Amino acid sequence: MGREALEDIQRHKSDIELNSSKCFIYRDGKFKECLWSEVMVGDFCLVKDNDVFPADLILLNSSIEGGVCFIETSSLDGEKNLKPKNSMPETIPWVKDNDAVRILGRIECIHPDPDLYKFEGTIYSEGGSDNKKVLLSSK
């Protein structure tokens, strides 16, 4: 029990540290530097190369051709290999050049689930809907 309490305390300290780290949130027509603790549901976040993010995100676009990114989930499942994630072709025009967000749809999903690999949601866009393009948090 003592070991579990110590692990909980360490996890709590780590959460506080990560939530105090900087990120970029789209506000007032541009991406502004903020703290992860200031991110709210529905915010557009800019994640840069090698950034750690403490929340589940939906990949809308990437700087790699075709909206592809690679994430490491070692803090979730212990695997250090990079996993490819693809954005939907319909969402790529929503975010361009790290400074322009144009919303052409909406996202509906269930509340957080303890199952790390479960996500139920739908992206509604002009081109239809798809619920397979979720980017799970690495923390």
- Per residue in 8-23, pLDDT (tens digit) is 888 888 888 888 889 9
pLDDT for residue 70 is more than 60: yes
Q: What is the pTM of this model?
A: 0.69
Q: Residue 4: inside a domain, yes or no? A: no
How far apart are alpha carbons 23 and 12 in whole angstroms? 20
Q: Residue 54: inside a domain, yes or no? A: yes
**Domain range spanning residue 65?**
42-130
pLDDT for residue 97 is more than 90: no
Cβ neighbors of 19 (< 8 A, separation 6 or more) are: 35, 36, 37, 54
Structural domain tally of the chain? 1
How far apart are alpha carbons 133 and 110 in whole angstroms? 15
Q: Residue 58: inside a domain, yes or no? A: yes
Residue pLDDT, tens place only, 102-134? 676 777 888 877 776 677 777 776 655 554 444
